[in-house]
Amino acid sequence: MHAAAARKNGKNWKSYTLGIVAVATLLSTTACEPGGTDPGTGGTSSGTPSATGSAKPSQSSVSPSADPTAPPKPTASAEPTAAVPCSDENVTITATAEPRDELRHLLLTAVNNGDRPCTLYHHPTVTFENDSLPPVVPMESPTRGLATIGPKQKAYAGLLLYRVEEKVATVETLTVGFQGRVPNTEAGNPISAELPTGVTFFHVGSNPQVTLWNKDLKAVQRYMFAR
């Protein structure tokens, strides 16, 4: 009888021991889950549920910076005043001579006396009172041939009257006409250019030439005196 009781107590002890080992194994497995999460409940390892669920990203009061690669937005600007062709209605012409040049060249200066910009196109149309003289032709000039001048501003053209030892004719007046946007079209009426102080006449050869209009005085002089 004692032997039977001993065998029964032994079985109970083994069952108790196995139960303890199973519980310890389960606890060890739970502790090794990623993040300490109980797979049965999905809760956190601290056992405290989240108050609001997933957190929402906070909204900043600072606006995001502009993309530095984006092209700049165009800004509004005032329309420039449209230029009209220069003519006898808004321009005066004077002629000046260089010292020690023997009056072989004249510098034509156009001054805008109007109240809005005007454009001098191509080259001045130069004529003399002597109809027997050849026409004044444009030089093959590197100057622009397009000069927009505002009120009181100036533009220039250089005139070659004759070359040394060339047969010449004597003239007393110089008339300058203006061209429109299209070459060889007229803008307004020709006007008489004011001659240099003290000059009452000058000489013109067989091949007079003129430069294109330009606002750069030095460029006109440099090309004019190269002829």
Q: So where are the chain's domains? A: 84-224
Query: Which residues are CB-contacts of 218 (< 8 A; sequence separation ≥ 6)?
Result: none
Residue 144 has a pLDDT of 65
Low-confidence ranges of the chain (pLDDT < 50): 1-80
- Distance, in Å, from the CA atom of 2 to the CA atom of 5, rounded to the nearest integer, reads 5
Q: What does the block give as tokens for 101?
A: 């040049």
What is the rounded distance in angstroms from the CA atom of residue 125 to the CA atom of residue 85?
Answer: 14
Domain 84-224 has CATH 2.60.40: yes
pTM of the prediction? 0.63
Specify the pairing of strand 209-210 against strand 137-138. Answer: parallel
For residue range 21-71, what is the model confidence (pLDDT) as tens digits?
444 444 444 444 444 444 344 444 444 444 444 444 444 444 444 444 343
Query: Are 145 and 212 spatial neighbours (Cβ–Cβ below 8 Å)?
Result: yes
